[in-house]
Amino acid sequence: MKYDINNLDSKKVGSITLNKDIFGVPIRKDILKNVVNWQFANRRQGSNKVKTRSEVSGTTAKAFKQKGTGRARRGNLKTNILRGGGVTHGPVLRTHKKKLPKKVRKLGLKIALSLKEKEKKIIILDNLNLNKISTKNISIKLKKLGTESALLIDTKKIDKNFKNSTLNLHNINLIPTFGLNVYDILKFNNLIFTKAALKEIEKRLLWFLKKKMKKK
């Protein structure tokens, strides 16, 4: 899996071979689904709540006499059938978080990267540095690279000019390597890595394999 390394002007400046243990994993859609569902579940706040009958402020005095009015028997004004009363079977504070083994999460990341490699939607650049902020300039450069919807991955030290230039581009997202996740990989058409970012990702995803080999 050999790829060209280009600069922002779409000129070739070198080449790199992608690691098969990360970009050559068999595709399993069931694992991708599980990881995306886990991400979505952990995003949810679970903070929507209504007041029940016991929490509503109101009098507990009997509204009218028990018999003789022709109306339904009613103990107080906090009942759920009255306006301003408590809500029955409404949402309560709870957590939506799910557990997913770390091995499965890492495998999901490898599968998502392998899927993009299989579709030949990976672009590798030498760096993401700009001399000045220019959204128009970035938009033109990305079109020359053959993409209008891309997830750009760089190291922790993201160039401020480049970052500010992409803020108004809705189909472009720039993240550091530690923010790489399955949902964002699948959401955008292309993945654009810097050479340094690729090294960081390999280090992050292959440490477990290296640890296993040392034990043997």
State whether 187 and 198 are in the same domain. Answer: yes
Answer with the one of 30, 62, 95 that is the final residue of a domain: 95
State whether 50 and 69 are in the same domain. Answer: yes
Instruction: Give the count of domains, the chain.
Output: 2
62-104 pLDDT tens trace:
888 999 999 888 888 898 888 889 999 999 999 999 999 999 9
59, 76 in Cβ contact below 8 A?
yes
User: For residue 129, what is the domain's CATH number?
Assistant: 3.40.1370.10
40-49 pLDDT tens trace:
999 999 899 9
Res 213: pLDDT: 54
pTM for this prediction:
0.82
Instruction: Provide the pLDDT confidence category of residue 214 given band limits of 50, 70 and 90.
Output: low
* CB-neighbour burial class of residue 201 (10 A; exposed 0-12, middle 13-18, buried 19+): buried
Q: What is the number of residues in the chain?
A: 216
State whether 131 and 208 are in the same domain. Answer: yes
The Cα–Cα gap between 86 and 78 comes to: 6
Domain that holds residue 163: 2-44+99-215
* Cα-Cα-Cα-Cα dihedral sign, residues 204, 208, 213, 214: positive
State whether 18 and 81 are in the same domain. Answer: no
State whether 84 and 168 are in the same domain. Answer: no
pLDDT at 121 over 60: yes
State whether 51 and 90 are in the same domain. Answer: yes
